[in-house]
């Protein structure tokens, strides 16, 4: 679709797809900083995907485009956990080039339907067309093509969200993303009980029901050992570290070696 007043020239760079269907687990980086250089250095090392934490991290809406492009320069798909259900923010994040939108605290089928529709063009949704922030860097994509849509992942992280899981899955998101810290707190459990203990059945159930519904299950791990354990029970994509934790770990390792 031609947008009048835009250049016919582009860099030729193509927005990378976040392919949830590819074989094997997808291990990502969770970015809490707002500096594109941090993401650029990390993307160069070959993470499968990178997510900016727009809910609890430092980045603001105006930072997203430069951060996404820092990852996309290395062919690493990047996205954001948006801070809320505000559809205007979600739309602008997609216009900035997000290949993944993670939406926190989804607790009902009605919420899920509204949020999925906000991420997809008509007739499948209600997303407004306005991709000018990705022009002229990227060639124009076919509007509404399924293969170029950003992936939408709805977070299940409360008792209510878990109780309404089937309704949430029925809304047709690309993925479910479990927030284990809040899910454990909501149930009155410790994180260890949920992830490794006798409450792990909840995570197994979520992964199994999502997979049966054709929805890819993901989970915030933040640790490689936990991520591997979650792969064993059916989860597909997880961040294995935050950029802040990588700096802390490297600093501790260096100082402990003195």
Arithmetic mean of pLDDT, 207-226: 98
- Lowest-confidence region among 117-121, 145-149, 213-217, 222-226: 145-149
Kindly state the tokens that stand for 179.
């927030």
3-class secondary-structure state, position 76:
coil
Return the bridge partners of 27, or none.
238
Arithmetic mean of pLDDT, 225-247: 97
Using CA atoms, how far apart are residues 85 and 234, in angstroms rounded to an integer? 27
Arithmetic mean of pLDDT, 95-118: 97
Q: Are 174 and 150 in contact (CB under 8 A)?
A: no
- Lowest-confidence region among 86-100, 141-155, 164-178, 179-193: 141-155
Q: Is the pLDDT of residue 5 over 60?
A: no
Percentage of residues of the chain with pLDDT beyond 70: 91
Q: Is the pLDDT of residue 144 over 90?
A: no
Determine the pLDDT at residue 230: 98
């Amino acid at each position: 679709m031609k947008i009048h007043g835009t250049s016919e020239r582009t860099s030729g760079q193509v927005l990378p797809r976040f392919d949830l269907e590819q074989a094997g687990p997808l291990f990502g980086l969770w970015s809490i900083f707002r500096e594109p250089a941090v993401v650029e250095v990390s993307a160069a090392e070959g993470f499968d995907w990178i997510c900016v934490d727009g809910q609890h991290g430092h980045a603001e809406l105006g930072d997203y485009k430069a951060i996404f492009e820092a990852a996309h320069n290395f062919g690493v798909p990047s996205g954001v956990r948006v801070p809320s259900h505000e559809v205007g923010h979600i739309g602008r994040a997609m216009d900035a080039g997000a290949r993944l939108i993670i939406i926190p605290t989804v607790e009902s089928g009605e919420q899920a339907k509204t949020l999925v529709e906000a991420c997809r063009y008509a007739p499948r949704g209600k997303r407004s067309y306005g991709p000018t922030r990705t022009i002229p860097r990227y060639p124009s994509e076919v509007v509404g093509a399924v293969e170029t849509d950003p992936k939408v992942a709805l977070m299940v992280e409360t008792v209510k969200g878990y109780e309404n899981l089937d309704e949430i899955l029925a809304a047709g998101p690309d993925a479910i993303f479990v927030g284990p810290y809040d899910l454990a707190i909501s149930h009155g459990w410790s994180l260890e009980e949920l992830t490794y203990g006798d409450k792990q059945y909840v995570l197994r159930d979520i992964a199994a029901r999502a997979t049966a519904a054709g929805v890819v299950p993901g989970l915030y791990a933040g640790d490689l050992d936990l991520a591997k354990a979650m792969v064993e029970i059916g989860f597909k994509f997880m961040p294995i570290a935050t950029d802040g934790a990588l700096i802390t770990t490297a600093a501790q390792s260096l100082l402990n070696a003195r």
